[in-house]
Every structure is written in structure tokens, then in C-alpha cells.
């Protein structure tokens, strides 16, 4: 029986995208990706990366350097108890400057070549598989291969040259904020398909809050129990992140900055009062004090921002 898979874009889906990444030291996993990968593995999915790497064709890195980058990504995932089943990359680009790679290729997304190649080599059922990525090329490649698709729109990213038009024309089945939310969608859709027929998506490209099916009746199947377990794990992780953000929003430094700012405003008001009463000397002193408070406030705000 063919296996099911979740195909993943790399940059801004698994790791941060600093541009053309050519240094393993700059590899940084996005928050929660290890939990998403572990959860999907527990649900029976293979995790396969499919990534365009035109930097090789442009002479910005070599295949050997790319292997080191992917080794570092695997190492960071392994430290957190997660792993990838395979990584496929396309080094070709028709506008490249390195002769062997300066060609068009059906491996390059939005062509589905990498997905089809992985399906053949890993014996995957594409109709039961998903494609998750942050760009229209990822979604189009997944659709051409016959996969369901999820687009990650965690932050506003300007489209690549030539993608402006396709960005509007290609709509994913779901749109989410990050890979963790994508895993939640996949697990919920898998559970729903076991308990009732899956209704067609009426409006494609809906966000997470409107596309998740309502909770169905509890089931006792082992796969459903696994899904419930990983969903609870994801929920706990999201709550942990939310608590961390709440603590980050309040800090002693920010409190002091607010007090200093209020003191500066209050002192400036006293300057006006002194001037109205013809107490120029007192007004001059108050102006200096207000300046000190304002400098304190600005310094504290900058310190809090840089934490």
C-alpha cells in the first residue's frame, strides 16, 4: 500500500529565509516546526522537503554547500526529536550563470517534477498527500501533482519576479500562519475523513478559523487516539507560546519607561504654569528636568525593544 506524505517547502516554511542561504551557521528553524513534524510522523505521514535552489545555477553556492546546509537543518531537528524522510532540490534556472545548471527543468516549482519523483522513489499516494509552502509556486506544484495544498502566510513576503500575477490566480485549499497550524489542519482533516464524508471546499483559500471541520463524535480507533494526542500536544505548545508573548509584552523596563515618559509630560506642563506666572528661572529648571525624564524614557524604550 502506498504511503501518504506531506511535502514541505524549505525557506519560510521550515527555516528562516535570509535571502540566498549559503552558510550553515545561518540556518534557524522556525518556531514549532519540530512539533509539527513529530505530530505528522505519528499520524503516519512521510515528511519530504521539495525546494528550488536557483542559487546554485546563479553561482551563489554549490551543491556541496547545500548539502552542508541541509545537514545542519537535519541536526537541529534531530536535537528536538524530529526528522525528515527525504530532501529534494532543484538547482536549475534558465537565467543561471553556471553552465550545467542554466537550463529549464520540470523539477523546478511550479512544475511538479520533484513531487512526482519523490512519489515514484518513495512509493507515495499523492491523492492522500499534502503540499505545504509559503509561495504560489509551491501551491501550484502541489495542485499539478494531485495533492491537497496549504499555504503558509506568516509574514508579508514580496513575490518573486514573475510571481505577481500567479499569486492571485493560485488558491490553496487552506491558508494558515505557520507549519504548526498546517499540521493541525491536516490532522483534523484526516480525522474528519474517517468519521464522515469530506465535503468539497466551497471557497478555496479560507483561513484556519473557518475551514476546520467541527469536532465529530469521539472514536476509539488507534489512529484517532494518536491524532487526539498530537492535537493536545500542539494545543499545549501554542498556549506556551501565547504565555511567553504575554510576558514579553509586560516588562519592568517598559514600566519604568512609561513612568519616565509621564514624568516628562508632567514637568513640561509645570513649565507652562511657571511661564504664566512669570517665573522664568523655575521654568528653565523644569525644562531641564523634563529633558532628563524624556531621555530616560527613550533610553528605556530602546533597551526594551532590543531585548
Range of the domain at 43: 4-247
Whether residues 264 and 242 share a domain: the answer is no
> Is a pLDDT exceeding 80 seen at residue 203?
no
Q: What Cα–Cα distance (Å) separates residue 45 from each residue in 125, 195, 228?
A: 11, 19, 16
- Do residues 80 and 173 both lie within one domain? yes
Mean pLDDT to the nearest integer, 178-200: 82
Q: Where are the alpha helices (DSSP H) in 146-221?
A: 164-169, 179-195, 208-211
Q: What is the CATH number of the domain that holds 186?
A: 3.40.50.1000
Out of 39-53, 94-108, 147-161, 200-214, least confident range: 200-214
Determine the pLDDT at residue 213. Answer: 36
Is 173 among the residues known to form the active site? no
Same domain, 143 and 284: no
Those residues whose C-beta lies under 8 Å from the C-beta of residue 145, and which sit 6 or more positions away, are: 112, 115, 116, 119, 126, 131
Whether residue 125 contacts residue 61, with contact meaning beta carbons closer than 8 Å, is answered with no
Q: Is the pLDDT of residue 136 over 80?
A: yes
The total domain count for the chain is 2
Residue 285 and residue 172 in one domain: no
12 is catalytic: no
Per residue, what are the HEC states of 215-284?
Answer: CCCCCCCHHHHHHHHHHHHHHHHHHHHHHHHHHHHCCHHHHHHHHHHHHHHHHHHHHHHHHHCCCHHHHH
Side-chain half-sphere CA neighbours of 228 within 13 A: 11
pTM given for the model: 0.65
User: Of 11, 12, 138, 173, which one is the catalytic site residue?
Assistant: 11
**Domain end among 232, 247, 262:** 247
Element (H, E) at 288: helix 280-305
Nearest by Cα to 175 from 141, 194, 148: 148
Residues 56 and 91 occupy one common structural domain: yes
Identified catalytic residue from 9, 12, 134, 173 = 9
Same domain? For 207 and 297 the reply is: no
Same domain, 205 and 298: no
Whether the predicted pLDDT of 233 surpasses 70? no
Q: Are residues 241 and 262 in the same domain?
A: no
Of the candidates 229, 247, 265, which is a domain's last residue? 247
DSSP state of 202: S
Residues 214 and 260 in one domain: no
Amino acid at each position: 500500500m502506498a504511503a501518504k506524505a506531506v511535502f514541505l517547502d524549505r525557506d519560510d516554511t521550515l527555516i528562516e529565509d535570509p535571502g540566498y542561504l549559503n552558510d550553515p551557521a545561518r540556518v534557524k528553524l522556525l518556531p514549532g516546526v519540530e512539533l509539527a513534524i513529530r505530530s505528522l510522523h505519528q499520524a503516519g505521514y512521510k515528511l519530504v522537503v521539495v525546494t528550488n535552489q536557483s542559487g546554485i545555477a546563479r553561482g551563489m553556492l554549490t551543491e556541496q554547500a547545500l548539502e552542508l546546509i541541509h545537514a545542519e537543518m537535519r541536526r537541529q531537528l534531530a536535537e528536538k526529536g524530529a526528522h525528515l524522510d527525504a530532501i529534494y532540490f532543484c538547482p536549475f534556472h534558465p537565467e543561471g550563470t553556471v553552465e550545467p545548471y542554466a537550463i529549464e527543468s520540470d523539477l523546478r516549482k511550479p512544475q511538479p517534477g520533484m513531487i512526482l519523483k519523490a512519489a515514484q522513489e518513495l512509493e507515495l499516494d499523492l491523492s492522500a498527500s499534502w503540499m505545504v509552502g509559503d509561495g504560489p509556486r509551491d501551491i501550484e506544484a502541489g495542485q499539478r501533482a494531485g495533492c491537497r495544498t496549504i499555504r503558509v502566510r506568516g509574514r508579508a513576503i514580496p513575490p518573486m519576479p514573475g510571481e505577481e500575477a500567479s499569486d492571485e490566480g493560485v488558491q490553496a485549499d487552506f491558508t494558515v500562519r505557520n507549519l504548526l497550524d498546517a499540521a493541525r489542519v491536516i490532522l483534523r482533516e484526516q480525522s474528519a475523513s474517517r468519521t464522515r464524508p469530506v465535503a468539497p471546499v466551497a471557497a478555496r483559500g479560507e483561513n484556519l478559523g473557518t475551514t476546520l471541520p467541527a469536532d465529530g463524535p469521539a472514536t476509539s480507533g488507534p489512529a484517532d487516539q494518536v491524532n487526539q494526542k498530537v492535537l493536545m500536544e500542539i494545543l499545549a505548545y501554542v498556549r506556551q507560546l501565547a504565555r511567553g508573548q504575554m510576558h514579553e509584552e509586560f516588562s519592568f523596563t517598559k514600566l519604568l519607561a512609561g513612568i519616565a515618559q509621564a514624568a516628562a509630560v508632567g514637568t513640561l506642563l509645570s513649565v507652562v504654569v511657571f511661564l504664566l506666572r512669570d517665573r522664568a528661572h523655575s521654568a528653565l529648571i523644569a525644562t531641564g528636568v523634563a529633558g532628563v525624564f524624556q531621555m530616560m524614557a527613550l533610553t528605556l524604550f530602546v533597551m526594551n525593544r532590543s531585548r
